[in-house]
Every structure is written in C-alpha cells, then in structure tokens.
Copies of this chain bind each other. A is one copy, B any other.
C-alpha cells in the first residue's frame, strides 16, 4: 500500500481512538489477547518461515531464539496485553486548572499523542506490546519491524486487526509497513504531517539513523554505557555486590554496567576483590595504568574502551584521584542512561546526584533497576536517554501529550 495513504488512514482514526472509554479499551485488549492465543497455530506457522530464512542467512543462535515463537511465548504476549488492560488509563486527567483574573478557566488535559510510529528490529513480541501500550493511551500506531520477522509480524498484525474489527474499532488503529527496504523506512521517518512521534527501538545504529533522518519528533531510546563509581568512603562489600549484579546479572541489556570507576584511596583493597568476584563469569577486565599496576589479571584499556557499550562479559576500569574527576569522566563518556555511586559520604552522594548528567542517577543500588516495571510504571515502551518530553523509563504517561482547554464567557483581549 502507498505509504502516505497508510499514514493518512492512521490519522483518520485519531478522533475515534481519543474518545474511547477506558472500559471499552480494556475489553478490546482482553479480546485481542484471546485472539492471539486462538490463532497461535497460524502465527507459529508464519514464524517458522522467518526462522527458516534466518537459518539460511546464518542468523546467530541468540537472534534466532529472540525471533522464535511457540505457544508458551504467544501466551506470554497475551498476558502482556492483559496486564496493560489492568493499568490505570492516563487519558483525560486534567493536570492543572486555574481561573485567570478575567474569569477564564484554563485546564491542562492529558490527551493522546495521535499517531505513533515505532521502528524496531527482529523481536516479534514488540509488535503486540507496542500495539497494547499505544491503544491503551488512545493512539493509532504504525509499526515498521525488521525484515527478519516480517512474516511473524504480518500474522500478528492480521490477528489483531481482525479482533479490532470484531470489536467495532477501525482496523487502521494498527498498521504494519510491510515493505522492509531502507528507502521506505527513510520516507516514513519524514511523514511529520501525519505522524506525531517516532520511537526507534533496537541497535545503536538504528537509533542513530532515525535521529539523523527523521523530521518527525523522535524519542531516542537507549544505549547505555553505565558506570559504577566506588567512592573512597564506600562499603566495599556492598560495592562488590552491586558491581557483580550490574555487570553479570544480564549482559545484553542497556542498564548493565560497562565501566567501573574507582577512587585511588581504595583501589589496592577493592580492585583485587572485584577481579576475584568477576572471575567466575570470565569477565574481560580492561583497566587504565593504575588498575593494571594493581592487578596483573587486568588487560590494558584503550581510549575507545571507555566509550563502549560492550553488552558482553567485558568491563573497563578507570582510576580517579577525586570524586570531581569521576564525575567529569562519567559525563564525558556516558550515554546519559544510568549511573551509580557507592558511598557512605553525605556530600559525595549529593554531589553525584546533582552533577552527573544521566536519566537515572543512583546512590548505593544497581543500575539494573532502570526499567519501567522496576520503577512501578507497570509497562515500558523504552528508556529515553534524551531530555525532551521523557527521560528514563517510559510508561503509559509518556505516550500522551496535553492540550489546554479554556472555558470562557465572552472574554476578549484588551
């Protein structure tokens, strides 16, 4: 289908979707969840084609596993939609309402964004998750998934659209761009006449390409070069526990720790313990000269190491003379995602919270908590590492905007 027409069709559903009652939206989500389970066989058959193509194209085992759908995984996807149905509906809330001296009443009302575009890679569960969050917030959604999952995505979208129609909802509340070539994607990124917000989800390359090419407002989601700074006053046992957790509990995620920053006063005591604690996980430790001098097990880091989001069993180690040097190093090298200080010093904790530039700044806790569910939002569409509109984990509220509603009785401007 013509891309512009597709975007126009999404627009044409906006007023309808924006006015849906919470009860109706929730019952539709439950109905869509049931439809996915009932049509699991069809979806699994389409997914099998993607898996076969993936194997032919030498897709890695890890990626094949992320692509694979079975009955249990489709059940999980359906449960995800049911959980979204259970969340409070942010639409319609009036955030502030005041009366002006001239008698006009001005309120700021939470309303849907309108049309949200989501560009993602080979995970077919995103297809249903993104639909659920956008639908609950009264938005139309246009999905552009990766070519590796195109058959799975088509099947899931078809089932959802059919369920929408059966519930008297326009099918165009959810659309999939089926063409997977780069020109279509670039053209889509420039449809700012019809699309209100673009969220890229996936690799750093995908996010960069979106930021560089889009004219639609973009929310950058997450690459994370996250640091743990162990201050001289730190409880070293706590620091060790947090380090091991943030580095090894799950390596392929944006809130994993990629770099350890250590105050020089405690390096001789702490670093050998850290090396020992990371040994069972075969972590490749790459340090600056001072770190290498303390521990011969540590490899020499290059300058580039300190800019890297490894997403692997690798960590860089930087030694600092002062907390100021630590903060400077972090602000220079981080991706503005999540940063932790381990300290027992009141002033150090405040200084770190104030001066580190990141979406989430922690004292004495693992960076792994940066997540919509862990923060209590009950959902997550991504983690914003930019400063406009949303910063940090994004839940339902972040998929809304506001509108001023003004009640007058004939006021004119003098």
A interface list, Cβ under 8 A from B: 14-15, 18-19, 98, 100, 104, 106, 113-114, 192, 196-197, 211-212, 215, 217-219, 235, 238, 241-242, 245-246, 249, 327, 331, 353-355, 357-366, 368-370, 374-376, 386-389, 391-392, 401-413
A405–B405 Cα distance when bound, in Å, is 33
When distances are taken between beta carbons in the complex, the residues of chain B under 8 Å from A369 are 104, 406, 411, 413
A401–B388 Cα distance when bound, in Å, is 7
Report whether B387 and A391 are in contact in the complex, using a CB–CB cutoff of 8 Å.
no
When distances are taken between beta carbons in the complex, the residues of chain B under 8 Å from A360 are 403-404, 406
The SS class assigned to the A binding surface is: mixed
When distances are taken between beta carbons in the complex, the residues of chain B under 8 Å from A403 are 358-361, 391-392
Closest B residue to A328 by beta carbon equals: B15
When distances are taken between beta carbons in the complex, the residues of chain B under 8 Å from A409 are 364-365
A-B contacts besides A113-B387, A217-B386, 12 pairs, CB < 8 Å: A15-B327, A15-B331, A18-B355, A100-B374, A100-B375, A241-B410, A359-B403, A361-B405, A363-B407, A365-B408, A388-B389, A391-B404
Report whether A410 and B364 are in contact in the complex, using a CB–CB cutoff of 8 Å.
yes
User: Knowing A14-B357, A359-B404 touch, does A366 contact B242 (C-beta < 8 A)?
Assistant: no
Q: How far in angstroms is the closest Cβ of chain B from A400?
A: 9
Oligomeric state, in copies = 2
Report whether A361 and B404 are in contact in the complex, using a CB–CB cutoff of 8 Å.
yes
Report whether A366 and B411 are in contact in the complex, using a CB–CB cutoff of 8 Å.
yes
A249–B414 Cα distance when bound, in Å, is 8
> 26 interchain pairs (CB within 8 A)?
A14-B357, A15-B327, A18-B354, A104-B365, A196-B387, A196-B388, A217-B387, A235-B410, A241-B410, A242-B412, A249-B412, A359-B403, A361-B403, A362-B406, A363-B406, A364-B409, A364-B411, A365-B409, A366-B413, A368-B412, A369-B411, A369-B413, A388-B389, A389-B389, A392-B402, A392-B404
A368–B369 Cα distance when bound, in Å, is 47
Q: How far in angstroms is the closest Cβ of chain B from A160?
A: 25
Report whether B217 and A249 are in contact in the complex, using a CB–CB cutoff of 8 Å.
no
A113–B391 Cα distance when bound, in Å, is 11
Q: How far in angstroms is the closest Cβ of chain B from A363?
A: 5
Q: Which of A15, A217, A387 is most buried by chain B, counting CB atoms within 10 A of its CB? A: A387
With beta carbons under 8 angstroms apart, the residue of B113, B249, B354, B359 that contacts A19 is B354
A53–B362 Cα distance when bound, in Å, is 55
A238–B217 Cα distance when bound, in Å, is 39
A238–B408 Cα distance when bound, in Å, is 11
A242–B327 Cα distance when bound, in Å, is 56
A242–B403 Cα distance when bound, in Å, is 21
A405–B410 Cα distance when bound, in Å, is 46
Report whether B413 and A402 are in contact in the complex, using a CB–CB cutoff of 8 Å.
no
Q: How far in angstroms is the closest Cβ of chain B from A292?
A: 28
Q: How far in angstroms is the closest Cβ of chain B from A192?
A: 7
Report whether A402 and B412 are in contact in the complex, using a CB–CB cutoff of 8 Å.
no
A389–B104 Cα distance when bound, in Å, is 25
A197–B217 Cα distance when bound, in Å, is 12
With beta carbons under 8 angstroms apart, the residue of B98, B212, B331, B388 that contacts A217 is B388
User: Which 5 residue pairs spanning A and B have beta carbons closest together?
Assistant: A365-B408, A245-B412, A387-B401, A368-B413, A389-B389
Report whether A365 and B212 are in contact in the complex, using a CB–CB cutoff of 8 Å.
no
Q: How far in angstroms is the closest Cβ of chain B from A7?
A: 15
When distances are taken between beta carbons in the complex, the residues of chain B under 8 Å from A235 are 410
Q: How far in angstroms is the closest Cβ of chain B from A333?
A: 13
A324–B238 Cα distance when bound, in Å, is 63
When distances are taken between beta carbons in the complex, the residues of chain B under 8 Å from A402 are 391-392
Report whether B361 and A406 are in contact in the complex, using a CB–CB cutoff of 8 Å.
yes
